[in-house]
Structures are given as structure tokens and as C-alpha cells.
Structure 1
Amino acid sequence: MSQSSTVPIRSLDTQPKKPPAKWRKHIWGYLFLLPAVAIFFTFLWMPIGKGIIFSFYHIDFVKGDTFVGWDNYEKVFKDPEVMVSVKNTLYYMLLGVLIGFWVPILFAIAISEMRRFQGFARIAAYLPYVVPFVVLYGLWRWLYDPVGPINAVITKLGIDPVLFLTDKAWSMISIVIMETWQSFGSALLIYLAAVLSIPRDWYEAAEIDGAGIWQRIRHITLPAIKNQIVLLFLLQLIATSQGFQTQYALLDGGPNNATLTYALLVVRYAFTRQDYGSASALGVLMFLVLGLLAVVQYRMSNKKEA
């Protein structure tokens, strides 16, 4: 007598389900990112790629483009104005560090030590940042005028008037002073947030031990905001290396190319001389240098997060 053997049949409902693919799990996030990625690619990376390609061509909108290889790079390296612009840009970056970099740090520390009117001080320090550039340039042209308010005070002190905008020794310094007054408010808010996040117990303990205000700043405040100082220092170097707007609008690179920066020379090559190939070569060289600074800044940012 044979016994019938029954084989259990597993229903489809009891089959273990595969976990959804990672891209399906995040598909809505990718869809929301797609417009931003498309805009970023179209208006940033595509022009960068075309700029690299154009740097090897002689651009002619009538006769057509001609491949010239490394000729554009050789041309810009032989141009004496390129070295002048590089020196001016480095000088501009140095002045930005010596004159403007420490201003927001000092103001942030001073405002954090205030017991009254701290909110008013924050607003007053940030207000210059919202001044339109057209108003800004007109205001400082009037202040820097040979018969303007600053020279009026200087002459009352028995000192000869200073030609802020027409003297080669003062033109770049005048630009840095103006830009420091206009833009230090944004960096001040970052430093102020970092200073106010320091535990007050540290200051109270230091005061109990007899530490004065300068000792508290040196041993507590500055070490606590060291990461912000380094990061904003690198960001300022990147920003000042691209200095163009003020030099162009206020003095157009003058007097006698004293404020001719590298970025302004790129604009001159492209739109004054209409040499777009050489302008692209200059832009590629700037892109490489700024890319190097961006890598340093990125690594510093990762180090801070770690």
C-alpha cells in the first residue's frame, strides 16, 4: 500500500519581499534635486567646459573659430599687463587681510562684551552691507574728494590733502577701506554667533581666577573661534582674488593700472580687445588657482566637522 506524500505549497503572499532599491527609496528627493542640478550644469559647469575649450581657439564670430593650441597661453604669459595684474591682485588680497580681515573679529568680540545696546550695535554694524553699490560708490567718491570731508579734517590737522583715488600709493588702500566698511557686517554676524555660543561658565571661571578682559579674549575667545577664523580667512582669499567690481566701477583699473586686478584684465581681454580665446586662457588659469584654494577650504571644513 503506497502512501501519498504531500508537498507543501508556499503561497505567493508568504514569499519574502526584496527590499526596494535605494534609488526607488529616494526617488522623490532626486526628482526635487533635478531642476537645481540642471540649472547648475547649464549655467556653471557648461560655461566652464566651454571656457576650457575656447582657450585653445581663436574666436571669430564672422569667419569662425580656429584651433591655435597653446598660442593663447603663450600670449598671455608674454603680456606684461598680466604680471602687473597678478601683483595688484596679490597686493589687494594682502591689504584685505591686513586692513579688513580683523575688523569683524574685533567688532564681534566688542559687541559680545556689551551689557547694553547689543541689539542696536548688531544692526548698526550690518546696515552698510545693505547699501546699494551705486549709492556706495557715490558716497565714497564724495568722501575721498580732494575737498571732501576726509580731506577737510586732514587739512585742519595741518596735513596736506591726500589724493585717495588719483594717487597710485593710495588708490588700492582706499578701495580696501571702502569695501571693509561695506562688507564687514556679514562676517561679523558669523563671528558673533561663534562667540556667543561659547559657554559663559568659562568666562565666569576665568573671572574668578582673576583673568582680565584681554586674558579672556586671548585664552578663551580666540581659541574657541579658531575654526571660523581659518575658514573665513580662506573664503576671503578666494573672494579678493576675484576682485573686479569696485576696481572697474570706481577707477577702471587706474590710475596708471594701479588697481588693475586679474579679473578686470580678463574682462578687458574679452570685451575691450575682443580676444575671447586669450580671455578664456586667463580664466582657466584663475580657475585652477581658485580650485586649489577651494580644495583647501573643503578640507578645512571637513576637519572642523570631524
Structure 2
Amino acid sequence: MEQIKAVQSTLAKPQKQRSGWSKGYLWGFLFVLPALATFTLFLWLPIFKGVLNSFYYVDFVKGDSFVGFDNYKAIFSDPDVLTSVKNTLYYMGLALAIGFWVPILFALCISEMRRFQGFARVAAYLPYVVPFVVLYGVWRWLYDPVGPINALLKAIGIGQINFMVDRSWSMISIVIMETWQSFGSAMLIYLAAILSVPRDWYEAAEIDGAGIWQRIRHITLPAIRNQIVLLLMLQLISTSQGFQTHYAMLDGGPNNATLTYALLIVKYAFVRQDYGVASALGVLMFLALSILAVIQYRVNNKGGVQG
């Protein structure tokens, strides 16, 4: 009898453990439930609705009518779509060439400062907190033909540049403005990574006679390589959705020179009132961003968020 009771007690222990595990799992699920409900209501349901609308002609008065792949056919027959794709890729390339290295450069300079480092951090981050309405107004004034930038260019003998009218300068002007406004947040991430590098490495390099550029090349840049790769992927994802500045500053002009893919989606939906084609454009963009998100996820798994 004692052996039977011992076996029964042994068999009963896992059941109690499973019961406790189930209870803990239930509480965890209850805590996550509000977030799941929010994501489902405001993210996944709109995505599903967008995919569904891409196969319909959306009419809020007479009702939707199924059109199959006609919306997707309309995309590939519209020359504005190809223009928007080219502009978006051009914008992404400019953002990498002009803006991607600015926060790295500032982080390196600030990390080497012996005085006023705290002031430099605050000063570099301040443009990021400027409201967008104020930002666009200030830069429109700066880019004006009689604004301070053109006054400076005339003073040094370069001549006037029509930043907002010239097709070859309009996208560059937007990238310069966005770089000034947003480099501070990325700079803080790079600066935190640089300051986490053991100081012993720099002291040993200085003893061996390494100069500042040698320390940056052989110690600092390899140490923050993972952060550089991660922020590169994040910038590609964010710039591929460029919309707000292009709409507020130039509304896609001049002559569609700043018409990005995301801006074209908005124009199809709210200007041309063609929600079916707009949804189809959104689906294609969702697929492209999903690929970039998978690449980012793989980068993170390989240590992209670690120093």
C-alpha cells in the first residue's frame, strides 16, 4: 500500500506543476490580450481589408463591385507608378549618401570631445524635437529665392539655386532638411555604442602611438558595426515610406519630381477617389516592406542590436 501511495503522489506532482504552469500562462495571456486586441483592430484588420479592397472597385454609394486583378493591371499601365518607384529609390539612395553618415560623424566627433560634450549632445538632438509645422515653414524660408541660403550663395559667387522649383534640386533639398531634423536620434544611438567600448582599448592604442583616425578606423567603427547595419536597415524601411515631407513641402512637385510611392497611394485614394487601386498599391508596398522586415529580423538574430 505504501508503494502504491508513493507512485500516486509521484504521478500527482507533474499534474500540479502543469496546473500552475497553465495558470501562469493564462495570466500572461490576459496581460497581452489588450495589446493583441489593439494590433488586431488597428493593424491586421486594416491590412486584411486593404488586401480585400484591392480586388474590388470601391464605391461608398452604390456598393463595391468585384473586378479581380483589374486594379493591379491599372497599376502597371499607369506611368506615374513607375515615376514614383524611381523617385522613391532615388530618395532612398540620397538619404543613404547624404544623411546616413551624418549621425555617425557627429557621434565620433562628440565622443572625442574633452569639454562641452553634454552641450553638444543636447544641441545635436534639439532639431529632432522641432514641430513639423515649424520645421516646414522655416525651411521654406531658408530655401526661398531671396532667403538666407541663396543670399549666402550669391555672396560667395555661386549664384541663386531654385531649391523648390528646380527638378534636380527638389529631392536633394528634402533630404537635406530631413537629415538636419532627424540625425540627432540616430546620433545618440551611435554615441551610446561608442561610449560602451572599453576605454582600455583606446588607452592601449594611444600607448602604441595610434592617432585619432587610427583609433576610429581600427577600434570605434568595428565596435559599432552591428549598430550601423541595424540602423541602415531601419533607414531603408523608413525612407521607402517617404510621404509626409514630400506632401507638405512640394506635394510631389515640381512636375512629379518628388512624387514618392507612398504619396501616390494617398493621391489615388483621396484625390482620384480610386480606393481599389490605392489598396492594390498598398498591398505591393506591404510585400516589399515585409521582405525588408525579414532581412532586418535576420540581422537582429545575428547580433545586429548588440555592441
Q: Same fold (TM over 0.5)?
A: yes
State the shift of 1:10 in Å.
Answer: 4.3
- The 5-angstrom pairing of residues 33-182 of structure 1 reads 33-182=32-181
Matched, 1:212 2:201: no
Paired with 2:149 and 2:273, the residues of 1 have a C-alpha distance of 40
Give the equivalent residue in structure 1 for 2:199. Answer: 200
- The 5-angstrom pairing of residues 234-273 of structure 1 reads 234-273=233-272
Paired with 1:30 and 1:39, the residues of 2 have a C-alpha distance of 14
Normalised to the residue count of structure 2, the TM-score between the two structures is 0.95
Identity of aligned residues (%): 72
State the shift of 1:159 in Å.
Answer: 2.0
Cα deviations across residues 2-40 of structure 1 (Å, max 9, x unaligned)?
xxxxx56849x9573321343322322211110011001
Paired with 1:197 and 1:27, the residues of 2 have a C-alpha distance of 39
Alpha-carbon spacing, 1:283–1:10, altered in 2? closer, same or farther (3 Å): same
Cα deviations across residues 137-156 of structure 1 (Å, max 9, x unaligned)?
00001100100001111111
Mind listing any 5+ residue stretches in structure 2 that lack a counterpart?
none
Matched, 1:29 2:28: yes
Matched, 1:222 2:183: no
Paired with 2:67 and 2:22, the residues of 1 have a C-alpha distance of 45
Paired with 2:22 and 2:31, the residues of 1 have a C-alpha distance of 13
**Secondary structure at the counterpart of residue 20 of structure 1:** helix
**Secondary structure at the counterpart of residue 26 of structure 1:** helix
Q: Computing the radius of gyration over CA atoms, which structure comes out larger, 1 or 2?
A: 1
Paired with 2:240 and 2:289, the residues of 1 have a C-alpha distance of 8
**Secondary structure at the counterpart of residue 165 of structure 1:** coil
Q: Which moved more, 1:17-26 or 1:248-257?
A: 17-26
Normalised to the residue count of structure 1, the TM-score between the two structures is 0.95
**Secondary structure at the counterpart of residue 302 of structure 2:** helix
State the shift of 1:157 in Å.
Answer: 1.1
Give the equivalent residue in structure 1 for 2:300. Answer: 301
Paired with 1:210 and 1:123, the residues of 2 have a C-alpha distance of 33
Amino acid at match of 1:20: R
Mind listing any 5+ residue stretches in structure 1 that lack a counterpart?
1-6
Cα deviations across residues 226-282 of structure 1 (Å, max 9, x unaligned)?
000001001000000000000001100000000000000000000000100000000
**Secondary structure at the counterpart of residue 182 of structure 2:** helix
Give the equivalent residue in structure 2 for 1:20. Answer: 18
Cα deviations across residues 189-227 of structure 1 (Å, max 9, x unaligned)?
100000000001111111111111111111110011000
Paired with 2:279 and 2:86, the residues of 1 have a C-alpha distance of 20
Paired with 2:300 and 2:5, the residues of 1 have a C-alpha distance of 55
Paired with 1:114 and 1:72, the residues of 2 have a C-alpha distance of 57
Paired with 1:14 and 1:43, the residues of 2 have a C-alpha distance of 49
Q: Which moved more, 1:28-37 or 1:84-93?
A: 28-37
